């Protein structure tokens, strides 16, 4: 029987359909950080060590794996068509999605640090960037609770 860490326990209590991957290694996390040029917040890092990505809410990537974090963030920052449609994404660290096109992200300060634990929702239709939660646990609670979240 696999022992559940605190993140898996929290998520499993919020989403009966939660699916977990094996935990990421410290080397995978370091490679992700190097690839996107941003140090991951401690809470996200500890979640990824327990499960390298989490799917729930009918198979949606609520938290992306290290590989997907790198892929999506690099794509958002470098895709030429996005430069014409949206404000720059260099100040966001995307971490997951809602299944309807919107994404969730930490704000990145001008010095490259993530100064607080706030998570924002990026609306793909309006390019709006709206505060969603004050920490990762609150993001998961709000995102995975139908009574607290109006999905995409």
Q: What is the pLDDT of residues 133-144, one digit of tens each?
A: 999 999 999 999
| SS3 per residue for 81-106 | HHHHHCCCCCCEEEEEECCCCCEEEE
Exposure class string for 12-33: b at 16+ Cβ within 10 A, else e: eebbeebebeebbeeebbeebb
Question: Residue 10: how many CB atoms within 10 A of its CB?
Answer: 18
pLDDT, residue 87, reads 64
- Reported as half-sphere exposure (CB side, CA atoms, 13 A), residue 123 has a value of 10
Question: Residue 35: how many CB atoms within 10 A of its CB?
Answer: 15
Residue 147 φ/ψ, nearest 5 degrees: -75, -20
Residues in the chain with pLDDT values less than 50: 1-2, 152
CA distance from start to end of the chain: 35
Q: What is the pLDDT of residues 71-89, one digit of tens each?
A: 999 888 887 777 676 666 7
Q: Supply the pTM of this predicted model.
A: 0.89
Structural domains present in the chain: 6-144 (3.40.1580.10)
């Amino acid at each position: 029987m696999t022992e559940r860490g605190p993140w898996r326990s929290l998520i499993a209590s919020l989403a009966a359909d939660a699916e977990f991957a094996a935990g990421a290694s410290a080397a995978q996390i370091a490679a992700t950080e190097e690839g996107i040029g941003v140090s991951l917040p401690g809470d996200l890092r500890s979640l990824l060590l327990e499960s390298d990505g989490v799917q729930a809410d009918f198979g949606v990537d609520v938290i992306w794996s290290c590989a997907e974090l790198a892929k999506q963030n690099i794509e958002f920052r470098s895709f030429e068509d996005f430069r014409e449609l949206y404000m720059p994404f260099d100040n966001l660290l995307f971490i997951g999605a809602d299944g309807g096109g919107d994404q969730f992200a930490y704000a990145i300060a001008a010095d490259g640090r993530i100064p607080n634990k706030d998570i924002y929702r990026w609306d793909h239709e309006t390019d709006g960037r709206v505060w969603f939660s004050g920490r990762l646990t609150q993001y998961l609670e709000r995102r995975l609770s139908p009574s607290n979240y109006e999905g995409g």
